[in-house]
Amino acid sequence: MPKECRRKSSKDFGLSGTGINEGSRLERRTAEKASHTCDDLVEKAAQIAASSVTGAPTVMDAPRVPQVTITPESGGSSREMQKEDWDDAVDGTLRRKLSNSSISSTGSSAVESEDDLLSDNESKSKGIITLEQLVDTGESKAWWKLKTIVQWPFSVTQKRKLNWVQLAGHKGNFKAADEGNILKKFSENEMLCFEKLRDDALLLFVPGYHGTVEKDGECFLHMTDLLVNFDLPNVMDCKMGVRTYLEEELVRARERPKPREDLYTKMMEVDSEGPTPQEHSQRGVTKPRYMQWRETMSSTNTLGFRIEGIKKCDGTCRTDFKKTRSKKDVIQVFKDFVGGNGNITKSYLSRLTEIRQALKTSQFFRQHEVIGSSLLFIHDHTSNAQVWIIDFGKTTALPEGQTLSHDIRWQEGNREDGYLWGLENLIHTLESVSNEVTAEETFCSVAEETDCCQTIEADGQ
């Protein structure tokens, strides 16, 4: 993908909100640019996935499936959504204008350094995934928060005030959509994955995908909101696999290393002894080096998954898991997350077992290098508990005829990602949580009975 296009989409299309609230002249100009860029990309994407990009359901047709939601964090990208917004985004014609992606594995020939391929620092900030949607409590947290009143197409009585909190992820990647849905910044990789997943065994375990839409001059993936069926949900994001960067990122960094100060700073915040003497002197760390360091600090390398963030129903939010590495520590975080509830733990375990089974039969899974994808755990006080496979921005198709086993050691060149190995460890972790929780529940009930017996004996005397 031409570098020029990517830069335009991040800077000019208002990822930090400039395209929404500024004057109409700017909006028009921005929209014109976006249209132009989208048009260029439509043809290209159509060549890749022509047959599958048709027939996106309208809002009314969209299946009401539980989904993930995330939202813009920056104030500029939030506002009340109006009927005409949705008319713009989803109408009968629904032009399939495809924006470019800041994460693309297809444009390597045009890029000049690792960052040209790997990241767009103008549009991305930190982390990884999810957010939450809940009834407004009026509380004001330091977390990135977006308040949106969804006014249409719902009646006054159906209006709901929503708060969305983004646990992790690239800032500004999400916008509000019609109720039950969200808009996620367009990524070619992710779109192609969703198109292929339409006919795959994993379909039941990924967010509903309703095609692409254009809004405010930007292109988005129209997806279901995974939190919609929950009442004050607890949400955890686990990034899967032993590797969190693509092999091509590694190659590029080797060919054209580009130390980044922001990654050096992030590394220093966690461990001042993390950077090498050379990295200290240049005050910069390359992306793969940073990613590898993150993997060794967390449980990615040792367990094949890591905890990225947790949002609990009480409003507390944690993303400080960069040094959560040992199995013992991971178990403790999970126990806290499920609140010592054995039923929720068992529901999660059963869902993970279903996911494992589906992965083993999935053609999509066999034919893709799955990098940076997460499992999203969601439960609420009704013991409704679900796990979803999310984030396919860096999930890349293998060359024709090549497949992965996902459970053998990664060596550069074999593109293995350790996803299944990580899932196996995740299941073992949940089993340990379940055992501990059951033992504690048994202990408590015995203790209660003992107290009870003592009372009876005392009464009898």
DSSP H helical ranges for 153-260: 188-197, 247-255
Query: Which residue from 186, 218, 180, 148 is spatially nearest to 61, judged by alpha carbons?
Result: 180
**Alpha-carbon separation of residue 82 from 153, 182, 389, 421 (angstroms):** 9, 15, 31, 46
Q: Which CB, 194 or 230, lies closer to ligand I3P? A: 194
Amino acid identity for residue 349 in this structure: L
Cα separation, 99 vs 175, in Å, equals: 15
Q: Which residue is nearest to ligand I3P (CB)?
A: 119
Cα separation, 431 vs 439, in Å, equals: 12
Show the CA angle centred on residue 167, arms to residues 163 and 173, nearest 5°: 80
Q: Which CB, 96 or 306, lies closer to ligand I3P? A: 306
Q: Which CB, 43 or 269, lies closer to ligand I3P? A: 269
Number of C-beta neighbours around residue 201 at 10 A: 16
* Distance of closest approach, residue 304 Cβ to ligand I3P, in angstroms: 16
* Distance of closest approach, residue 310 Cβ to ligand I3P, in angstroms: 14
Q: Sign of torsion, CA 101 103 109 115?
A: positive
Amino acid identity for residue 211 in this structure: G
3-class SS shares of the chain: helix, strand, coil, % to 5: 40, 15, 40
* Distance of closest approach, residue 405 Cβ to ligand I3P, in angstroms: 23
Q: Which CB, 246 or 338, lies closer to ligand I3P? A: 246
The sheet with strand 218-224 has its strands ordered as 174-176, 181-185, 218-224, 209-215
Q: Which CB, 322 or 346, lies closer to ligand I3P? A: 322
* Distance of closest approach, residue 297 Cβ to ligand I3P, in angstroms: 9
Cα separation, 433 vs 449, in Å, equals: 24
Q: Which CB, 335 or 394, lies closer to ligand I3P? A: 394
Peptide bond into 2 cis (omega under 30): no
* Distance of closest approach, residue 242 Cβ to ligand I3P, in angstroms: 14
* Distance of closest approach, residue 339 Cβ to ligand I3P, in angstroms: 26
Tokens of 322: 């960069």
* Distance of closest approach, residue 246 Cβ to ligand I3P, in angstroms: 9
DSSP H helical ranges for 177-326: 188-197, 247-255, 261-270, 277-282, 287-297, 300-303
Q: Which CB, 31 or 131, lies closer to ligand I3P? A: 131
Q: Which CB, 35 or 108, lies closer to ligand I3P? A: 108
Q: Which CB, 259 or 372, lies closer to ligand I3P? A: 372
Chain residues binding ligand I3P by CB under 6 A are: 103, 118-119, 124, 126-128, 244, 266, 287, 291, 294, 372, 394
Tokens of 284: 């910069």
Q: Which CB, 58 or 276, lies closer to ligand I3P? A: 276
Q: How many helices (H) and strands (E) does the chain have?
A: 15, 14
* Distance of closest approach, residue 447 Cβ to ligand I3P, in angstroms: 42
Cα separation, 326 vs 297, in Å, equals: 10
* Distance of closest approach, residue 259 Cβ to ligand I3P, in angstroms: 13
Q: Which CB, 321 or 377, lies closer to ligand I3P? A: 321
* Distance of closest approach, residue 253 Cβ to ligand I3P, in angstroms: 12
Place of tokens 């198109």: 195
Contacts of 80 (CB under 8 A, 6+ apart): 148, 149, 151
Bridge-based pairing of strands 368-369 and 396-397 is: antiparallel
* Distance of closest approach, residue 125 Cβ to ligand I3P, in angstroms: 7
Place of tokens 């860029």: 37
Q: Which CB, 368 or 394, lies closer to ligand I3P? A: 394
* Distance of closest approach, residue 276 Cβ to ligand I3P, in angstroms: 18
What's the number of CA atoms in the CB half-sphere (13 Å) around residue 262?
A: 10
Amino acid identity for residue 401 in this structure: G
Number of C-beta neighbours around residue 110 at 10 A: 14
